[in-house]
Structure 1
């Protein structure tokens, strides 16, 4: 059973709608409704091209008609799994346009002409009068399609054979004196005997190991012990294999060689200077604003302007210039195949969209995301009238550039420092202590969470904030020691030229094998009592498919409710980025909510590491932003504490569109 159906214009004007149940009235009225979420993500943000959209227990399907800029939407409860919705959408689109095409053409042309609003309403159009009789046509189409589905189901239903009249002739019940227990076959008996012999042999082997410690033998599962291996040798032979002193070079080290390796007399100041030079890259140090704030540098693909529109225009124009000289098969020459003044069809765009998909995949965009982006570009172009090669190529390139820009444009603020200062400066009751701003770093194993956490810590210290690092990775060996080294190094780095920043960074750790959620809670309480501004929570790496570990991470989130949850991912991943982010975000939302209905916290932003290894293949940024809708706050591009960058949308778009 359908819940809601509507026909609207891309400009946001609803031409016709119908609710089938009283509960479905909120599907279009509420700002958080599935229909409005679909319009926001599909049209405004461009983050979905799927015709199957699910939210809050509802499934929403839609279709576009670009010639008249119409959107046909059908919503129903996801559990029903209606199979006739696609056919219904196609029939509605065909019938509605056939019945009201003159009126719709006039209406769309008036919108394009920007007719001014009137006091009575946005436009002088009476849709109820214009579409009189459509309800009857709609009901007729719906009943016909439902009837076809019912007939098909009845034809596919298997026939039930009649039961036999009597079962006494075919079935003989066992008698009371008949042994109904299955007899043990000879093969099974032999298997059990073999298992018993193997167990006894293992017991004998373990018992013998306690008597003659150090001897090594192999358990023979035929029932007897094998002879000791060659490793179990006599004491005299083992003594002959004693460790021999290594010799470096052809002869013993001379006094001059030893002097070169002796740093004991070196002044401590020289050693400290050398260490500081290794920790900071002067070429990547950020800038100071007039207000004295320390800002990390922007990642730049080229020397072009950071302005998004200028970057896109530059990239598109450069592609247009190169398209004539490039071999056939490039994106520019694929677009060149569409010539003449015509209405673009799916057949015209298919080779161009395939070339776009291959181009995006070469830029390290996940295959699934590349397909969805190209589908969105195609849907925005089908039905448009273009004339000449230049206008066609410009239209296609502009559609691709606009689609990528909409996806990458942050929907929330990326100014992390502003969020921190806003919380720290907010007024509190006299009886309440100020709680530090907390940031949790999550991600899979080996992506560089601890290293990039220390880079963020350096950035915060340079802005005059006191930072507490919570060592909540209680599983990986050396995780606490690694953070301790970072804290020691960061304490040596001055703030704004000062000689020492000790006291501005501290490590909170409770060793290994403890509950990470409890350590994070104690660390936030310690930061509150000792006047720390920010608490950075380092978590253990885990694979996205490991449900117990994901539940433990969700417990940390639910118990401490950090202000930011930053996913740390690699720039090298392609298709894997989609799977990682999707499952991390879903697990956090599901497991961190008490009801388990997905109302918990999700990913708030991303930090992409190893950015310096991908050159212009920056498709991971597009994949990650597409999946979550959250911005990339920083990218890591080196091994020192200053190797942290911010992303500008224009630079990323230019890198993706470049050949």
Structure 2
């Protein structure tokens, strides 16, 4: 039933392993995938992992730094695996406790761990217990409730139901007949009310001619009476508000023609020398400032360190008070109470889940308040609990400080990418192959895809590359014009005269309502013929629930196979970030035509300057995709583009 079971240390030394009958493949591949994707990435909140056709379950032993892993076919439903892996851990610890306490990898290699007999006994007991629980005997007919009923009782029951139904039908019919008499009562009420009105008007018993004569007399009487004039008091007219006086500037001059600049650039050229000179004067500080790698996001940490020290001191005082109360309740001597208090602070006790529960709850609430998704916060806290459970605390350390340090380490590990995305190096590599480097931007509506595409274009131009922008947003009104404005502005900052007469940025567009995948394909072919270094593909914003647009995006990526697929997301979102990334990746996987679909390769985090220290969206996005944050947008100008500093973000996240 089991394919393999292995026990190894966190240093990578295999202490003991077992392979099932008929299993020829090595378990090194699945176990290495588990280590890379789960254990090293601090995702150990869930103790199961799927690798191809295998389902893996694991357990961490933090006291002896061991990992227990069992693998079996994922089509099987083995209910005894969780209890079985716990039993194996306890038996292995108890049997080789002295050997495991010896520190150092050489001593572990020299020890001989003979565990096969005990393992087979535990496996046999687990399988037999699961079989005993699974079998449930079927009841006989005499044991069922149906056997106790007679035919007569069933007939009487049906007859009684029929009688009730007939009675119910009669009641319904009587209810339907009742409303027939109501209109008569209403008519009588109306007639009586109209009769009362006629009596009140004094026209009861008169003929129609007499009634007409009476109404004429009343009409003429009203016309002949002259209304008395009331003295009208004239109210004073409201004064008009004083008009705002035009301000006259000393250096303003008297003629408005001097302020008219519309005729100075009459040829309509966008790359005129005067315009370039103005661009250099206005934005000269931006040029030549983004060569090489981007600057990282920084945070001030002086206040944070002081607050951290104060929190740790408070926690230590609470532990001291708690230990004092325990000692006083036991009525121990003075020296015994003092040494007991010190014993509580010094690392003499291994951590349990109950010890960390209150601290983890506070940490979970703190992460949610910092804009981390609620589901991700729970997973992170569970991962930290499994990482620390059974671990012996250090000297003079508290539970709160230990949990906080472990959580900080986990967050830094999550934000640091599994692979480094070096776009400048990749573009140079594509240049050597005489092809353009293609980057596709995707995301929901209004997150800043076009704006950050222009920032990345400016960064690439500063590093000496030529850029072709493919306008594949054929849906939103004004999308092409926005990119054309960025192209004109970037060319004014880097005029063609400084680059051999060739514009460093060009826009490839075919208007609106066209197929985005076809435009991207034509743009890449055009860039290859015209020897452009980079192609930036701008796509239309789409919600993750819009199936037709998600299908079109998957088609664009599957046909053109870009070198880099970047998801553009806001730093303002919380739980929504999880839903967006999961559904974007799922759509790309579902609509791909290859066995290994192309998913999101990196993240562009925008509007990072608007969130202060609520940087939790970076954790949520990186945790879900496992991909790095490549760019961070920190403002409105072309210079406001940064790379992510994991430690600075974590320090801001843990700030109280």
TM-score normalised by length of structure 1:
0.72
Q: Which residue is equivalent to 2:603?
A: 606
Q: Is the 8 Å Cα contact of residues 286 and 297 (structure 1) preserved in structure 2?
A: no
Match of 1:52 among 48, 52, 70: 48
- Looking at structure 2, the residues matched to 582 and 334 of structure 1 have their Cα atoms a distance apart, in angstroms, of 42
Q: After the TM superposition, which of the residue ranges 339-348 and 641-650 deviates more from structure 2?
A: 339-348
Q: CA deviation at 1:476?
A: 1.3
The answer to whether 1:415 aligns with 2:415 is: no
Q: CA deviation at 1:272?
A: 6.0
Across the aligned residues of Structure 1 and Structure 2, the Cα RMSD in angstroms comes to 3.8
Q: Which residue is equivalent to 2:311?
A: 323
Q: Is the 8 Å Cα contact of residues 629 and 644 (structure 2) preserved in structure 1?
A: yes
Match of 1:91 among 87, 90, 100: 87
Q: Which residue is equivalent to 2:61?
A: 65
Q: Is the 8 Å Cα contact of residues 416 and 646 (structure 2) preserved in structure 1?
A: yes
Q: CA deviation at 1:21?
A: 5.9
Q: Is the 8 Å Cα contact of residues 470 and 523 (structure 2) preserved in structure 1?
A: yes
Q: CA deviation at 1:88?
A: 2.9
Q: CA deviation at 1:332?
A: 11
Q: Which residue is equivalent to 1:124?
A: 110
- Looking at structure 1, the residues matched to 528 and 273 of structure 2 have their Cα atoms a distance apart, in angstroms, of 35
Please give the residue correspondences for 1:584-599 in structure 2 after superposition, counting only pairs within 5 Å: 584-595=584-595, 599=596
Q: Which residue is equivalent to 2:335?
A: none
Please give the residue correspondences for 1:262-277 in structure 2 after superposition, counting only pairs within 5 Å: 262-264=260-262
- Provide closer, same or farther for how the CA distance between residues 422 and 526 of structure 1 changes in structure 2, counting only shifts above 3 A: same
Q: CA deviation at 1:346?
A: 0.7
Q: Is the 8 Å Cα contact of residues 550 and 587 (structure 2) preserved in structure 1?
A: yes
Q: Which residue is equivalent to 2:644?
A: 647
**2:110 partner SS:** coil
The answer to whether 1:134 aligns with 2:118 is: yes
**2:356 partner SS:** helix
- Looking at structure 1, the residues matched to 57 and 119 of structure 2 have their Cα atoms a distance apart, in angstroms, of 20
- Looking at structure 1, the residues matched to 312 and 121 of structure 2 have their Cα atoms a distance apart, in angstroms, of 51
The answer to whether 1:633 aligns with 2:624 is: no
- Provide closer, same or farther for how the CA distance between residues 499 and 523 of structure 1 changes in structure 2, counting only shifts above 3 A: closer
Equivalences, count: 533
**1:607 partner SS:** strand
- Looking at structure 2, the residues matched to 144 and 658 of structure 1 have their Cα atoms a distance apart, in angstroms, of 53
- Looking at structure 1, the residues matched to 369 and 593 of structure 2 have their Cα atoms a distance apart, in angstroms, of 39
- Looking at structure 2, the residues matched to 503 and 81 of structure 1 have their Cα atoms a distance apart, in angstroms, of 63
**1:297 partner SS:** coil
- Looking at structure 1, the residues matched to 119 and 612 of structure 2 have their Cα atoms a distance apart, in angstroms, of 56
The answer to whether 1:356 aligns with 2:363 is: yes
Q: CA deviation at 1:97?
A: 3.3
Please give the residue correspondences for 1:322-471 in structure 2 after superposition, counting only pairs within 5 Å: 322-323=310-311, 339-340=344-345, 341-386=348-393, 389-390=396-397, 392-426=399-433, 434-471=434-471
TM-score normalised by length of structure 2:
0.72
- Provide closer, same or farther for how the CA distance between residues 159 and 657 of structure 1 changes in structure 2, counting only shifts above 3 A: farther
**1:651 partner SS:** helix
**1:386 partner SS:** coil
Q: CA deviation at 1:256?
A: 7.2
- Provide closer, same or farther for how the CA distance between residues 153 and 323 of structure 1 changes in structure 2, counting only shifts above 3 A: farther
Q: Is the 8 Å Cα contact of residues 9 and 69 (structure 1) preserved in structure 2?
A: yes
- Looking at structure 2, the residues matched to 500 and 344 of structure 1 have their Cα atoms a distance apart, in angstroms, of 68
Q: Which residue is equivalent to 1:115?
A: 106
Match of 2:129 among 125, 128, 145: 145
**1:134 partner SS:** helix
Match of 1:42 among 38, 59, 64: 38
Q: Is the 8 Å Cα contact of residues 287 and 297 (structure 1) preserved in structure 2?
A: no
**2:55 partner SS:** strand
1:166-202 Cα offsets, whole Å, 9 max, x none, are 9xx99xxxxxxxxxxxxxxxxxxxxxxxxxxxxxxxx
Give 5+ residue unaligned stretches, structure 1.
Answer: 117-121, 171-248, 305-313, 427-433
Q: Is the 8 Å Cα contact of residues 608 and 635 (structure 1) preserved in structure 2?
A: yes
**1:514 partner SS:** coil
- Provide closer, same or farther for how the CA distance between residues 652 and 26 of structure 1 changes in structure 2, counting only shifts above 3 A: farther
Q: Which has the higher helix share?
A: 2
Q: Is the 8 Å Cα contact of residues 38 and 53 (structure 1) preserved in structure 2?
A: yes
- Looking at structure 2, the residues matched to 377 and 440 of structure 1 have their Cα atoms a distance apart, in angstroms, of 36
Q: CA deviation at 1:510?
A: 1.1
Q: Which residue is equivalent to 2:549?
A: 549
1:335-384 Cα offsets, whole Å, 9 max, x none, are 99795332111100111111111222222111111111111211121111
- Looking at structure 1, the residues matched to 306 and 535 of structure 2 have their Cα atoms a distance apart, in angstroms, of 46
- Looking at structure 2, the residues matched to 53 and 337 of structure 1 have their Cα atoms a distance apart, in angstroms, of 41
Q: CA deviation at 1:320?
A: 3.9
1:121-167 Cα offsets, whole Å, 9 max, x none, are x821223xx21412331332222332243136979xx98979x9x9x
- Looking at structure 2, the residues matched to 276 and 153 of structure 1 have their Cα atoms a distance apart, in angstroms, of 88
Q: CA deviation at 1:18?
A: 3.2
- Looking at structure 2, the residues matched to 14 and 629 of structure 1 have their Cα atoms a distance apart, in angstroms, of 27
Q: CA deviation at 1:494?
A: 2.3
Higher Rg:
2
Please give the residue correspondences for 1:206-245 in structure 2 after superposition, counting only pairs within 5 Å: none
- Looking at structure 1, the residues matched to 306 and 54 of structure 2 have their Cα atoms a distance apart, in angstroms, of 44
Q: Is the 8 Å Cα contact of residues 439 and 566 (structure 1) preserved in structure 2?
A: yes
Match of 2:612 among 615, 618, 623: 615
- Looking at structure 2, the residues matched to 499 and 527 of structure 1 have their Cα atoms a distance apart, in angstroms, of 17
Q: CA deviation at 1:386?
A: 1.9
- Provide closer, same or farther for how the CA distance between residues 133 and 114 of structure 1 changes in structure 2, counting only shifts above 3 A: closer
